[in-house]
Structure 1
Amino acid sequence: MAIDPFVPWGVATEQSDGPRLAVKDVVDVEGLPTGAGHPDLLGKKAERDAEAVARLRSMSVFAGKTHTDELAWSLGGTNQHYGAPENPAAPGHVCGGSSSGSAAAVAAGRADLGLGTDTAGSVRVPASFCGLYGYRPTHSRAPRDGIVPLAPSYDVPGLLARELPLLEWAADVLIDPASRPAAPERAWVPADLWGELSPRVGAALAPAIRDLGLPVDRTPLGLDVTDAFAVAQAAEVWACHGAWVREKRPVFGPGVAARFERAERLTAEEVSLARKTVAEARQRLLDLLEGAVLALPSAPGTAPALGRPARTRAATLRLTCLAPIAGAPVLALPAARVDGLPLGLSLMAAPGGDENLFALASGA
């Protein structure tokens, strides 16, 4: 079922000029309830804006709250209880998740900025599927109070826009100041990650990588941390929501339900080993990102059709989990089309290098 991107309980009342801001319904807006994609969580109204909303309202107008996948624990852009917003850039296809409504509102021209969250790709995947610019900030620079947590070690607010200058302006308002590392001197295009993708994806994104004007470094990442990340993330999700799940036994869609069932069964040994593997991967990523920008597809392919189950979660996480592991910023670019459908390229810098990404993308 295709639905309106805006939730009915998050209707805007502001009437003034300025960029219109659509806010994902895991983020508090004063005077409105926060549903987090599940009807059992709709409760009292927020007493104040989340810090991210408060900052962005200084340069924008609130347009309304938008749908999300259940508790934001999905990349599909669907919801068992509410349905799925249709993709304005690819009619008949999903928007991607979990910031599905914010992406749909921006792609449809009903908002200029979308505020979402990105734990493991929930801004970058919708940006790719909807032909938008997307931004995940350096973890340490992002305000996170007033946001329903998923996995706090990896959660950050993120932004979506149709135009890069507006996204850059909003990013500057959203994030805390920090010292800026040196500009990247090479494009890291790891041969092992790209080698697992369809050749059509590589061919479609090759021109965007050339346009960066940087020497290409094909050093392999040399590890697959996807499973370890999934375990570490699930442990944090269960720490945040497990008591509620055990008490209420809420109904979830199949994918989210399976992830909660797995999270409930995790052992301390599994979690400890996963966290150790993730920590080792973080150090390798930080070493390889020194002086480099990592270039990867924002998603392993284009948006699946509405109503057809997507079976690409593991392949997507292989690409998207690297930024949360490193706590690093990512700028997703609407770089190509395959069979008429949008496909994005994500650029990841070392932590703190947010401004470097915008400078690189704008040719500055």
Structure 2
Amino acid sequence: MTDGTPDPLPDGLMDAFWDYEAALMSDDLAALDRLFAPGPATLRTDAAGTLVGHDQISAFRGGRGGAPRRTVVDIQVQVVDDGNALVVATTELARGGRGAQTQLWQRQRDGWVVTAAHVSVSPPAIDTRVWRVVGDPLVTGAEDGPLARETIAVKDLFAVAGQKVGAGSPAYLAAAPVETRTARAVQKLLDAGADVTGIARTDEFAWSLFGDNAHYGTPPNPHAPRRLSGGSTSGSATATSLGHTSIALGTDTGGSIRVPASWQGLWGIRTSRNAVARDGLLALAPTFDTVGWATRDPDLLARVGDVLLPPAPPPATSDVVLATDLLALAAPDVRAAIEEFARGWGNVVREPFDAHDLDAWRTTFTLVQSAEAWKQHATWVASRLHTLTPAVRGRFEAAARLDPAEVNAAAHSLTRLRLEIRHRVADRIVLLPTTPTVAPLPGGADQSLRETMLGLTSIAGIGGLPAVTVPLRTAEGLPCGVCLVAAPGRDRDLLALARTIPRPA
């Protein structure tokens, strides 16, 4: 190890540094807490973002399961004065590659503590939380076309010739055959000139909204560091947020495009039921399954629609209605962002959408979705429940126990509710929260949040309606979304409207 420390150093500084290093390698949380300065001003930053305050830093360390193994190979120290010093250490990681940490140490009454730290490590060649398989590209598109030079992260539910469909499950992937044909939606994008960069992670069987997958890890959320990414089109959304691809191709059954788009600051669309062919797509609940995609800007969102959507009449003008009772379901910070958006739009009518029906709508949606998911996957799942993550296993187990009479009643209710929702939307554009909250921290996504989200997202699902989510920011700078919902077949109208929405400078 090289050592660029000046001589003499303030008493106790390097002892504290090596105590910190030992605590880090042994994951001694109490010692690490003691060696970071108490209070709200302490900082720790890395590529994922900045943690502010001792409490945030302590919570992060407590949840990460230890730091990567490493060896310190170089230390440089700049002494500011007898009570403050900057220590820069270069490390070699056990997994390969190098890292660096910069720490500002301060002498306090009980000894030396870190008041600010910056940590960097060499990134892995492939982030397996985001990607299952990736190429440069994995599949080359046509030489020319309306999407030439665009790149796609394909959700691991679509068939890609020469690859397997993994569905977010290692056991399913192991047993899956190699696909001989490419899903029609993917092929149309390839024919339009886009390249497939890779196949991206999904929540297991696409039956989740939060983006977490215990098998592979949770994809990061670049625009809300250390918060959940949203799912189930989690890997594709993260790849596009990170700039690895320009198009996140996914599905939306109960919000699987809209939720990650909202939580990651993307534009996204759930298409009208049957508007885009689902050939070569692993189903979850065919009554509600749709193809969707997300991008970083509305122009590309619309250009993808030009390739995938059927022809439609020229865009029609419509009244825009802010559903006040649905807005009330959002947290105050999200509600304020949507209110500001609506004021900026101008002539927006404010009226309720009759949200007192929301629990019944969500229950009907969940019953039909669960019954169809079991019908689709029972043959494979029944003997392999032990291979699934607890939440998804629980949903399949509950689906297996459903009373056929109850499912039949829900199916009849669905027909009535679909007509009712379409009648309420009519020829208008309805605004509602895409998600009721910003992306929660790990551990903060519970059943209550899932039910509230499904209450909002199932409106388009039951109605078979197109929905475009527009990225907004809360006053604290966290991503959220407002959803534009219209009558079936008005996908292109929504995409054209999205192009006219002013974007932040």
Equivalent residue for 1:186, pick from 320, 336, 356? 320
Aligned partners of 2:158 and 2:183 also within 8 Å? yes
For the residue of structure 1 that corresponds to 2:292, the secondary structure is strand
Equivalent residue for 2:234, pick from 88, 95, 100? 100
The residue that corresponds to 1:348 in the other structure is 485
Q: Distance in 2 between matches of 1:112 and 1:175?
A: 18
Equivalent residue for 1:23, pick from 131, 154, 179? 154
- Greater share of strand residues, 1 or 2? 2
The residue that corresponds to 2:442 in the other structure is 306
Letter of the 1:100 partner, please give it: S
Aligned partners of 2:295 and 2:301 also within 8 Å? yes
The gaps in structure 2 that reach 5 residues or longer are: 1-63, 65-126
- CA shift for structure 1 position 10: 7.4
Residue 227 in 1 paired to residue 363 in 2? Answer: yes
Q: Distance in 2 between matches of 1:231 and 1:10?
A: 39
The residue that corresponds to 1:241 in the other structure is 377
Residue 32 in 1 paired to residue 168 in 2? Answer: no
The residue that corresponds to 2:283 in the other structure is 149
For the residue of structure 2 that corresponds to 1:106, the secondary structure is helix
Residue 292 in 1 paired to residue 425 in 2? Answer: no
Equivalent residue for 2:335, pick from 196, 202, 208? 202
Equivalent residue for 1:162, pick from 276, 285, 296? 296
Residue 331 in 1 paired to residue 455 in 2? Answer: no
Higher relative contact order (CA 8 A, sep 6+): 1
Q: Mean Cα displacement is larger for which, 346-355 or 335-344?
A: 335-344
- CA shift for structure 1 position 192: 2.5
Letter of the 2:239 partner, please give it: A
Letter of the 1:161 partner, please give it: T
- TM-score with structure 1 length normalisation? 0.94
The gaps in structure 1 that reach 5 residues or longer are: none
Aligned partners of 2:157 and 2:165 also within 8 Å? yes
The residue that corresponds to 2:222 in the other structure is 88
- CA shift for structure 1 position 354: 1.0
Change (3 A) 1:180 1:276: farther
For the residue of structure 1 that corresponds to 2:345, the secondary structure is coil
Q: Distance in 2 between matches of 1:86 and 1:281?
A: 37
CA offsets 1:129-152 (integer angstroms, 9 cap, x no match): 110000111112111010100000
Residue 49 in 1 paired to residue 182 in 2? Answer: yes
Letter of the 2:440 partner, please give it: P
- TM-score with structure 2 length normalisation? 0.69
Q: Distance in 2 between matches of 1:257 and 1:10?
A: 32
Change (3 A) 1:38 1:7: same
Letter of the 1:39 partner, please give it: P
Residue 273 in 1 paired to residue 419 in 2? Answer: no
Change (3 A) 1:198 1:170: same
CA offsets 1:71-113 (integer angstroms, 9 cap, x no match): 0000010112111111111110111000000000000000000
Residue 123 in 1 paired to residue 257 in 2? Answer: yes
Q: Distance in 2 between matches of 1:239 and 1:11?
A: 38
Q: Mean Cα displacement is larger for which, 170-179 or 4-13?
A: 4-13
Whose Rg is larger? 2
The residue that corresponds to 1:78 in the other structure is 212
Letter of the 2:205 partner, please give it: L
Q: Mean Cα displacement is larger for which, 66-75 or 354-363?
A: 354-363
The residue that corresponds to 2:273 in the other structure is 139
